[in-house]
Amino acid sequence: MDKFDILTAIAAPLPEENIDTDKIIPARFLKTTKRSGLGKSAFYSWRYDENGKEREEFVLNREPYRQAEILVTYENFGCGSSREHAPWALLDFGIRCVIAPSFADIFFNNSFKNGILPIRLPREICEQLVEDTKMGANAKLTINLEKQEIIRPNGEKISFEVDPLRRQLLLDGLDDIGQTLQHVKSIDDFEEKRKQNQPWYPKVSAEKLSS
């Protein structure tokens, strides 16, 4: 997972409530065997017409928002099915941070697991940030996770809350796996002890499976 410390990037507005995981990535893309490559199908029904042609009017199809790494949206983002394909699709599109008044629980947790920072801020502030995003190429926000603040294009600072453990994992670029691997010595010790106490628990033998 890439580290998340200071991100200065284009922010794109999606000023709507209840954007569900079906909108973020429709069910028909779930039979994939990959988590990468979903970015081109993110927000499919908004981005493409019936013939699969890009809709010019959709914000993420326009410059500079094609380069957006931050989304500003409204209440209950990521509701609906628990599919982890939703954060996978956003990340693959290039999104590292989503700002909204509230998020659906599972999506919120899945985001951290995949290196995306979800930030909860009051609706009025989200509305101001949506205004900021309209400044085109100047629609850049800076997210400083260490200091827990957002810097608006006019230099004003907005502070935000984040769970300390989650914050540390993002700053270190560690996902859950990376965090657990910090305990790898304990895991190895446990395995060793088990081998001594219960030596009769066999390994799975590929050979025996094929005979």
Partner 1 sequence: MKARTLFDKLWDSHVVEQLPDGTAILYIDRHLIHEVTSPQAFEGLRMAGRKIHNPEAMMAVIDHNVPTTDRSKPIEEDDSRQQIEALEHNVKEFGVPFIPLQSDKQGIIHVVGPEEGITLPGMTIVCGDSHTSTHGAFGALAFGIGTSEVEHVMATQTLLQKPAKNLKIEINGTLRPGMSAKDVVLAVIGHIGTAGGTGHVIEFTGSVIRNLDMAGRMTVCNMAIEGGARSGLIAPDEVTFEYIKGRPNAPQGADFDAAVGYWKSLASDEGAHYDKVITINVDNLEPMVTWGTSPEDVLPITGNIPDPALLKDESQRLRKQRMLDYMDLKIGTPIAGTKIDAVFIGSCTNSRLEDLRAAAHVLKGKKIANHVWALVVPGSGVIKKQAEAEGLDKIFIDAGFEWREAGCSMCLAMNPDRLKPGQRCASTSNRNFEDRQGPGGRTHLVSPAMAAAAAVKGELTDVREMI
Residues of this chain that bind partner 1 (CB under 8 A): 1, 31-36, 82, 84, 88, 110, 113, 165, 175-177, 180-181, 183-184, 186-187, 190-191, 194, 198-206, 208-211
Pick from 87, 113, 118, 100: which is nearest to 169 by CA?
Answer: 113
Contacts of 1 (CB under 8 A, 6+ apart): 114, 115, 173, 174, 175, 178
Output 87 or 101, the one with its CB closest to partner 1: 87
Output 155 or 199, the one with its CB closest to partner 1: 199
Q: In angstroms, rounded to a whole number, what is the distance separating the alpha carbons of residues 144 and 60? A: 24
Q: Provide, rounded to whole angstroms, the least separation between the CB of residue 96 and partner 1.
A: 16
Contacts of 177 (CB under 8 A, 6+ apart): none
Q: Provide, rounded to whole angstroms, the least separation between the CB of residue 208 and partner 1.
A: 4
Between β-strands 140-144 and 6-14, what pairing exists: parallel, antiparallel or unpaired? antiparallel
Q: Provide, rounded to whole angstroms, the least separation between the CB of residue 118 and partner 1.
A: 16
Q: In angstroms, rounded to a whole number, what is the distance separating the alpha carbons of residues 147 and 106? A: 26
Q: Provide, rounded to whole angstroms, the least separation between the CB of residue 193 and partner 1.
A: 10
Output 102 or 114, the one with its CB closest to partner 1: 114
Q: Provide, rounded to whole angstroms, the least separation between the CB of residue 209 and partner 1.
A: 5
Output 47 or 85, the one with its CB closest to partner 1: 85
Q: Provide, rounded to whole angstroms, the least separation between the CB of residue 171 and partner 1.
A: 18
Output 159 or 186, the one with its CB closest to partner 1: 186
Output 74 or 107, the one with its CB closest to partner 1: 107
Helix (H) or strand (E) holding 179: helix 176-181
Helix (H) or strand (E) holding 143: strand 140-144
Q: In angstroms, rounded to a whole number, what is the distance separating the alpha carbons of residues 107 and 154? A: 31
CB 22 within 8 A of CB 81: yes
Write the single-letter amino acid at 55. R
